[in-house]
Amino acid sequence: MSSPTERHPTAGLDETVHQRVRLGILAILSEADKATFSYISEALDVTNGNLSAHVTVLASAGLVSVDKGFVGNRPRTWLRATAKGRATFRAEMAALSKLVARFQGTSQAP
Amino acid sequence: MALERSSDKQLLDSVESARRRTRSVLSTNWFPMILFGLLALVSVAVYQVWSWQAMAALWVVGAPIAGLATGFWYRSRANEIGISVNPIPYTITSIAIFVGCIALGIAGRGDALSYAGPVMVIGLGYVAFAVLDKSPLNAVFGAVIAAVGVAVLAIRPSHAYAVTMLLFGIGAVVLGLWNLLQSRRAR
């Protein structure tokens, strides 16, 4: 049982990243050095338009960086998690895990 | 409230699943495993048929070429599938293995250290690669190879080079083929 003065895990959630696609983008980029826009859209099963909107939110918060380039003649958009993005992702996962553990604890209580 | 928490659980599960899939895609390493495994097996044949000088020359020339080929393979694969790891820790580990093997090979002056030392370095290097790839199987393989190096240094058996390199070569090729099979299944 948590004490009344203990901070509730929801206080640790970040509204910018507490969303399936945005958290998914950071999850992929936290494991990799960089990933293309098309790899992420396929991996998360979202349309390019939808992904683009979420990337814009993350980029304007300084959580991902976007580099446009070419592989041969084909244009490629590479995404990278910034240091802030990686730290935010770790904090979000910790808060989310805590919250789920707390919920499971209460739901299993008699 | 319960519904919200249940969606948090789904969110956590979907993120963990995305991380696992990414890790699995990034830990594809069959090309260097098979290439260096085959190089080790060929080196045993060279050592048996010709001389240790020919075997040493094979490693000094072959290892950097195989290293460059591995670099090109990872780069073209990253461009093909659209995701890549940071190459710097892999490059540093590869150079450390190469320099460590050469240094201990020379320092051993033809004694047990000259062949057991490089085996230990290769084993520890593979443990480092396994940590980067988050691959427990490869970590066990690297630790076994390093332990074999220590055992060879202590026991000094006859045909030590052939025995250790056959073990390393066969093990690396088998793990490489297993990784190739896994990566084909994941597609």
ipTM of the complex: 0.75
Residue from the list B5, B8, B22 with its beta carbon closest to the beta carbon of A32: B22
Where do the domains of chain B lie? 48-186
With CB atoms and an 8 Å threshold, state whether A103 touches B5.
Answer: yes
Inform me whether the C-beta atom of residue B2 falls under 8 Å from chain A C-beta atoms: yes
Query: What's chain A's average pLDDT?
Result: 84
Nearest CA in chain A to B7: A100
What is the pLDDT, as a whole number, of residue A107? 57
Asked if the model's pLDDT at residue A8 lies above 70, the reply is no
Mark which residues 51-80 of B lie under 8 Å from A by CB: 79
With CB atoms and an 8 Å threshold, state whether A93 touches B83.
Answer: no
pTM: 0.81
Three-state SS for A93-106 is: HHHHHHHHHHHHHH
Query: Can you list the domains of chain A with their CATH numbers?
Result: 13-97 (1.10.10.10)
What is the pLDDT, as a whole number, of residue A110? 47
Nearest CA in chain B to A97: B12
pLDDT string in tens for chain B (187-residue length): 454 556 878 888 888 888 888 888 888 899 999 999 999 999 999 999 998 889 989 999 999 999 999 999 999 999 889 999 989 999 999 999 999 998 998 887 778 888 889 999 999 999 999 999 888 999 999 999 999 999 988 988 888 888 899 999 999 999 999 999 988 876 6
What is the DSSP-derived secondary structure letter of residue A8?
A: P
- Distance set, CA B61 to CA B55, B56, B66, B67 (Å): 10, 9, 9, 10
**Closest Cα to residue B133, out of B89, B92, B102, B94?**
B89
Residues of A with CB under 8 A from a CB of B: 18, 20, 23-24, 27-28, 30-36, 38-39, 43-44, 71, 76, 93, 96-97, 99-100, 103-104, 107
Three-state SS for chain B is: CHHHHHHHHHHHHHHHHHHHHHHHHHCCCHHHHHHHHHHHHHHHHHHHHCCHHHHHHHHHHHHHHHHHHHHHHHHHHHHHHCEECCHHHHHHHHHHHHHHHHHHHHHCCCCHHHHHHHHHHHHHHHHHHHHHHCCHHHHHHHHHHHHHHHHHHHHCCCCHHHHHHHHHHHHHHHHHHHHHHHHHHHC
| Lowest model confidence (mean pLDDT) among A53-62, A94-103, B65-74, B170-179 | A94-103
Asked if the model's pLDDT at residue A3 lies above 60, the reply is no
Q: For residue A37, give the amino acid letter.
A: F
